[in-house]
Amino acid sequence: MKVLEERIRRDGIVEDTDVLKVDSFLNHQMDVELFAEMGREWARLYAGEGVNKILTIEASGIGVACVAAQAFHVPVVFAKKSRSKNIAGEVYTAPVESFTHGGVYDIMVSRRFLLPSDRVLIVDDFLANGAALQGLISLVRQAGATLIGAGIAVEKAFQPGGARIRAMGIRVESLARIKCMSPEKGVEFC
Ligand code: 5GP
């Protein structure tokens, strides 16, 4: 998506060869007009798929998922990163290895908000190694819901997540795919 690529070129900061900072428009300060364009693009790509719920993960996925949900006219559920033990039977949980902070944490979503009848689109800001996405996919599977696919803002295509998830037969639509990046040369898109 040209407009997102241009914005990354203009305002993204390549911290090192594998971390891109986009906190001026995507995951700290948020450009909701840009999010609306992204939401419309995912709605176009997934038109006719009967998406009735968007699933994301706190915290950085929530903003973009909420605005995208307006284009689909569906509710958003965000998986919570839980520190406490959850009561079995009330929630679905999955372990996720953190890309940004290291270590493993659990994500959880209440069984009341993910139903077997749901047709779910997962939305997230970044796809790197795919751990966050795999955790969310696990929650959808546990619920017996139908996974329609994933809408990702920025995929770092040089990291293995995208290939891994697509190899599972899951549709992934990333609006900007980064081929490589460095602080010296900036970002190159696929
Ligand atoms: P994954 O689980 O695919 O390895 O990483 C996904 C999560 O890590 C995203 O939800 C995002 O919060 C964070 N993340 C991964 N790579 C980057 C990056 O280059 N920049 C930023 N700001 N966050 C990232």
- Express each pLDDT in 82-131 by its tens digit: 866 666 679 999 999 887 777 899 999 999 999 999 999 999 999 999 99
Inform me whether the pLDDT recorded for 27 exceeds 90: yes
Give the domain CATH number at 121: 3.40.50.2020
- Checking 114-117 for CB contacts under 8 A at 24+ apart, the result is 114/53, 114/55, 114/77, 114/139, 114/140, 114/142, 114/143, 114/145, 115/143, 115/145, 116/143, 116/144, 116/145, 117/145
Instruction: Please write the tens of the pLDDT for every residue from 31-84.
Output: 999 999 999 999 999 999 999 999 999 999 999 999 999 999 999 999 999 866
What is the residue with the minimal CA distance to atom 9 of ligand 1?
A: 126
pTM comes to 0.95
Cβ 63 under 6 angstroms from ligand 1: no
Provide the pLDDT for residue 106: 93
Instruction: Please write the tens of the pLDDT for every residue from 131-140.
Output: 999 999 999 9
Cβ 20 under 6 angstroms from ligand 1: yes
Cβ 154 under 6 angstroms from ligand 1: no
Cβ 56 under 6 angstroms from ligand 1: no
Q: Determine the Cα–Cα distance for residues 1 and 174; give it in Å rounded to an integer.
A: 9
Residue range(s) defining the domain that contains residue 140: 2-189
Q: How far is the CA of 181 from the centre of ligand 1 (A)?
A: 15
Provide the pLDDT for residue 98: 85
Count how many domains the chain has: 1
DSSP H/E element including 136: helix 131-143
DSSP H/E element including 161: helix 161-167
